[in-house]
Structures are given as structure tokens and as C-alpha cells.
């Protein structure tokens, strides 16, 4: 699903007509979404880009509210939300509003992200307080098991191989973002390209990696 900064012709939607009532505009907007979804599922790539353009602002606002304590992760979560939506688009039930379905994907993705963050921050040195009293616990350490070390090494090799197979323009931004921990503006400045192009390249790179690594031992979005 190429999500570049290329221009495309956007059809004029009846949902924008000022002569329609609010209910009529909502119905027209929903019909627009249905048409775009059908075209996207049929392989028309720009149709999904139109959906993404239509809802990016609302999804960004939702995620920004949910991730107020992690503002630097908002852009990544927005892009990952649309990747997840694209991957699941064929299963969308048009009995429901596309916006509702998309918001649910976004909120669930944020919840999963925060849950991982909380698990990482959870102190293993403190006992657990329960209604029955204090419970001491031990964490099983599997780090010394050779099979675990081998698994981690194989996992890293699979990810690296997939990244190295990306087209150069996508490989560069992925490595700068995730290996060098550069933010979007730093990448744009270093490559001398627009900020929007950086975001589009990252979106496309993650979509390719998600498709390539899906079903393997790798979870692309492990923190």
C-alpha cells in the first residue's frame, strides 16, 4: 500500500454539500466511505489513501488525548492504526460506520501500547498487595537458557533481513527512526526532504515490514 506524497484527484463528495441536512450529510459521508472501502479492497490503492486523509485528523486527535503522557509516540501510533485498518479492511462490516470501526482500532492499539508500557514499568522488587494480604513473588529468569538466546538472535536477524530488503529510501528512514532514535524533523533535515515525505516513507516501510513479518515469530510493534 504505497502511501507517498504523490498527488491524487479526490472526487467531490455529496456529504460536503451545504444544502443537505446534518443527517443527510452523515448518510452521504457513510456512503462515500463504503464506496472507497470497496475500491480499496478491490486493489485501488488511492481509495484507502482518501480514507486515511479523511480521518487522519480525527484519529490523531483521539490518540493525542489517549496518549497525553506519551506525546512523542502519537505520530507512530496514528500510522500504525491505519496500517492495522488497511490489513483488516477486507473484514470490515459495512453495517457499522467506518469511523466507529477505525476509532476502535485506534483506541485498542493505544490501550495495548500503554499496557506494554505499564508492564515494563512494573517493579519486580515490590510485593503485590491483595485482599488476602501481601504476596511475595519471583520472576523466572530464562535469559540463561541457550534456546532463548538463540531465539532472540534469530528474531533480530529476521527483522534486520526484512529491513535490508526494503527499498533504500524506506530503509534509510526506518533505520534513522528506530536504530538511531531520530525524530521526524531530524530525519527530514538530514535527508533534506519534506517532513511529510518522511512520515509517508515511514508509513510505507512499516506496511511492507508488517506484511513481510506477519505470521512469523516477530512482533513488529514490540516496544
pLDDT number for residue 10:
41
d(CA 27, CA 63): 25
Q: What does pTM read for this prediction?
A: 0.52
What are phi and psi for residue 12, nearest 5 degrees?
A: -80, 125
pLDDT number for residue 15:
55
pLDDT number for residue 16:
55
Kindly list the averaged pLDDT for each block of 10 residues, start to end, along the chain of length 223.
Answer: 36 55 82 91 89 92 88 90 90 86 90 76 46 46 50 70 86 83 85 88 86 60 40
pLDDT number for residue 26:
81
pLDDT number for residue 24:
79
Domains of the chain, first to last? 16-121 (1.10.1740.10), 143-213 (1.10.10.10)
pLDDT number for residue 128:
44
Amino acid at each position: 500500500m504505497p502511501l507517498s506524497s504523490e498527488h491524487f484527484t479526490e472526487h467531490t463528495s455529496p456529504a460536503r454539500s451545504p444544502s443537505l441536512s446534518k443527517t443527510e450529510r452523515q448518510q452521504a459521508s457513510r456512503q462515500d466511505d463504503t464506496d472507497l472501502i470497496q475500491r480499496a479492497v478491490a486493489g485501488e490503492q488511492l481509495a484507502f489513501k482518501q480514507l486515511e486523509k479523511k480521518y487522519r485528523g480525527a484519529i490523531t486527535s483521539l490518540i493525542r488525548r489517549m496518549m497525553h503522557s506519551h506525546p512523542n509516540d502519537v505520530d507512530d501510533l496514528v500510522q500504525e492504526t491505519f496500517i492495522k485498518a488497511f490489513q483488516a479492511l477486507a473484514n470490515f462490516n459495512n453495517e457499522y460506520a467506518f469511523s466507529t470501526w477505525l476509532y476502535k482500532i485506534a483506541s485498542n492499539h493505544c490501550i495495548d501500547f500503554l499496557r506494554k508500557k505499564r508492564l515494563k514499568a512494573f517493579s519486580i522488587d515490590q510485593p503485590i498487595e491483595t485482599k488476602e494480604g501481601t504476596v511475595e513473588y519471583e520472576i523466572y529468569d530464562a535469559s540463561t537458557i541457550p534456546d532463548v538466546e538463540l531465539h532472540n538472535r534469530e528474531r533480530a536477524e529476521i527483522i534486520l533481513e526484512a529491513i535490508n530488503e526494503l527499498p533504500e529510501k524506506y530503509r534509510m528512514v526506518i533505520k534513522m527512526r528506530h536504530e538511531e532514535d531520530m525524530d521526524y524533523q531530524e530525519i527530514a533535515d538530514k535527508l533534506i526532504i519534506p517532513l511529510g515525505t518522511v512520515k509517508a516513507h515511514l508509513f510505507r516501510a512499516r506496511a511492507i515490514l508488517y506484511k513481510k513479518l506477519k505470521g512469523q515469530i516477530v512482533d513488529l510493534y514490540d516496544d
